[in-house]
Amino acid sequence: MNVVIVGAGIAGLATALSLEAVGIRDIRIFERAPEIRGLGVGINLLPHAVRELTELGVADRIEALGVAPSRLAYFNRLGQPIWSEPRGLDAGYRWPQLSVHRGRLQLALVELVRERLGEVIETGHRLTDVSEGAETVTAVFDTDAGPVEATGDLVIGADGIHSALRAIRYPTEGRRRGAASRCGAAPP
């Protein structure tokens, strides 16, 4: 099976690793950013996400990038506790919760994809169109060198919350309401 993944964020990269784990190696990932710089700030991976990383055999590497909080606690501005609850292993899960820098997580996943699949990530490719044939799907990307097509048995949209692929496939859905702005800090 030949798979085209749109977006080299956390979902696109994790999907590539999951497909590789079940024996699908003919994968290309297309990312609109000219380079993957590992942007963001903190992100929390809940136990069910860490379970997936554990199944992929990469949890140790991700765990080394962050911390495993044992409690979530809220305080008011005077420092008085409002709410507190156990998290991860302390909450009885079989997997920890991990707090990591989003950019470091993304760069670690890029490294793992390269190790397991080779140079399959094409940056500078912004999805602009997608069309279905009888047996295949073709994605069209805008690049500095002009439009580029990629045909696969499957095209997976992992291009984030403002997904271009979703907008193409579901044009009447509109934009997500209450969309927050994005953080852009590089990893320390």
Ligand X SMILES: Cc1cc2nc3c(=O)[nH]c(=O)nc-3n(C[C@H](O)[C@H](O)[C@H](O)COP(=O)(O)OP(=O)(O)OC[C@H]3O[C@@H](n4cnc5c(N)ncnc54)[C@H](O)[C@@H]3O)c2cc1C
- CB closer to ligand X, 43 vs 96: 43
- Shortest CB 142 distance to ligand X, Å: 8
> Which of 10, 4, 36, 34 minimizes the C-alpha distance to 142?
34
CA distance 91 to 174: 38
- CB closer to ligand X, 9 vs 134: 9
- Amino acid present at 153: D
- CB closer to ligand X, 4 vs 95: 4
The two beta strands, 154-157 and 2-6, are parallel
- Shortest CB 187 distance to ligand X, Å: 10
- Shortest CB 32 distance to ligand X, Å: 4
CA distance 93 to 90: 7
CA distance 26 to 152: 9
- Amino acid present at 43: I
- Shortest CB 79 distance to ligand X, Å: 25
- CB closer to ligand X, 96 vs 165: 165
| Residues that bind ligand X in the complex, under the rule CB under 6 A | 6-12, 30-33, 39-43, 102, 126-127, 158-160, 164, 182-184
- Shortest CB 78 distance to ligand X, Å: 27
Percent of the chain that is helix, strand, coil (3-state, to 5)? 30, 30, 40
